[in-house]
Structures are given as structure tokens and as C-alpha cells.
Structure 1
Amino acid sequence: MRKWLKEKNISLGLVFLFASALVLVDELYREGYLFDFSDLFVFRLTHEKLFTLLFLGGLYTQFKNRNGGKS
């Protein structure tokens, strides 16, 4: 997949950020709200936890790529 992303000139960080946006859209569609901070502290996997992981992963990879790190 990385080869395909490299050929299309798409960074992995943008894929993570786009996926996190899709999680928010799904949350809005299913639950009727965008983000509930209290869902971060429950034991089960929630949309909020998935969004947070994808968003932070996207920011990290974007920051790493901008500073010359190898992805």
C-alpha cells in the first residue's frame, strides 16, 4: 500500500487524518453528536478512542514527514 501511496503522492498522515474525519461522520450519523469526552474513559472501544488514535497518528506521521523523517 505504501508503494501505491508513494506513486499517488499521498502521505500516510493524510490517510490517517481522512480516516479520523470519517469516524467523526459515522459518529454523527449513528449517535447524533460529534465527540463525547466521557467516552474516552470507558473500558470498551468507542468512536472517540478510534478518532483520537487515528488523529494523533495522522498528526505524528505528518510531523515526522515534514521534518525529514523516514515514513
Structure 2
Amino acid sequence: MSETDVPEDHPRYASLVTRHRIEAGVEKGITSKQGLIAQGRGEAFDYLLGERTLQSADNAARAAAA
């Protein structure tokens, strides 16, 4: 995924770009897989603080899993 694959108006744009940059860093040996784990924990913590999944994102996830 490149940064341009995600529309800037996507509700999780910043998060997805950050994750992509960490993935690229892992591939280049700059960071470790633990960086991905830490980023994921941060995402989970956001939900604990009250962030909610948009209905459209929930619908898309359910359709993809069907």
C-alpha cells in the first residue's frame, strides 16, 4: 500500500499512513515488528478512550468477512 492508495478524507487516513510507514521501516530494517505491535496497541487504546467505528466502516468489514 502506498500513502496515495488511501483517500485523504478516509476517517483513519493518518493511522493507515503511519502504519504503512512503520511497515516500510520494518522492510528496510529501520524499525522492528514490535513497532507494529505498539502502533496496534495505540489503536486499541484509542477505542478504549471512546473512538468508535463509523457505520460505513463496520458495514465494509462485515461485507468483507461474509
> If the TM-score is normalised by the length of the shorter chain, which range does it land in?
0.3 to 0.5
Q: Name which structure has the greater RCO, CA cutoff 8 Å, separation 6+.
A: 1
Q: Between Structure 1 and Structure 2, whose CA radius of gyration is higher? A: 1
What is the TM-score when the length of structure 2 is the normalising length? Answer: 0.40
